């Protein structure tokens, strides 16, 4: 079980870094992008395979972590949050759910197609709600907890 978890983290870590390259993230941010994406996927994987949570709930919790870690990382590194959020959320995107929904619909197995379509839609909504929830935290709060103690002045 631990070996599986390490392999899952490693695959998500390097997959996130590969997506960061495609997304033109500066090289100095690759390790943090990989850590955010890998840890988010590990949270999802543990919730599904160890705690037997549903895919939608696990995706929501992992998305909340990824978004919060991305906001903290952007504050500490003083760069846009999208560098970490878009790259870090990559392992959570339900691409296989979309594929299965269309695949079973083309095969006229509408029951399976609807099942995967509903699950994929639920995952997408959970991801959006997780991102919105974390972005409701004021930036001043994150700056106070994780940023410099120097206050910014207007020029």
The structure tokens 């949570």 sit at 53
How far apart, in whole angstroms, are the C-alpha atoms of residue 118 and residue 127? 14
Note the pLDDT tens digit of each residue in 75-110.
888 899 999 999 999 999 988 999 999 999 999 999
The per-residue pLDDT for range 70-82, each reduced to its tens digit, is 999 998 888 999 9
Single pTM value for the model: 0.86
User: Are residues 127 and 60 in contact, defined by beta-carbon separation less than 8 angstroms?
Assistant: yes
The pLDDT tens digits of the residues spanning 19-48 come to 999 988 999 999 999 999 999 999 999 999
């Amino acid at each position: 079980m631990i070996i599986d978890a390490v392999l899952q983290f490693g695959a998500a870590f390097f997959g996130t870094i590969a997506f960061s390259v495609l997304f033109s993230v500066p090289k100095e941010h690759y390790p943090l992008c990989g850590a955010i994406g890998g840890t988010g996927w590990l949270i999802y994987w543990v919730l599904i395979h160890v705690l037997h949570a549903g895919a939608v709930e696990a995706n929501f919790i992992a998305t909340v972590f990824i978004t919060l870690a991305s906001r903290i990382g952007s504050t500490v590194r003083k760069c846009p949050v999208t560098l970490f959020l878009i790259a870090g959320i990559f392992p959570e995107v339900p691409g296989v759910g979309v594929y299965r929904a269309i695949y079973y619909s083309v095969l006229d197995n509408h029951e399976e197609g609807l099942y995967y379509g509903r699950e994929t839609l639920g995952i997408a909504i959970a991801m959006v709600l997780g991102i919105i929830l974390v972005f409701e935290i004021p930036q001043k709060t994150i700056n106070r907890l994780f940023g410099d103690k120097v206050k910014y002045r207007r020029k």
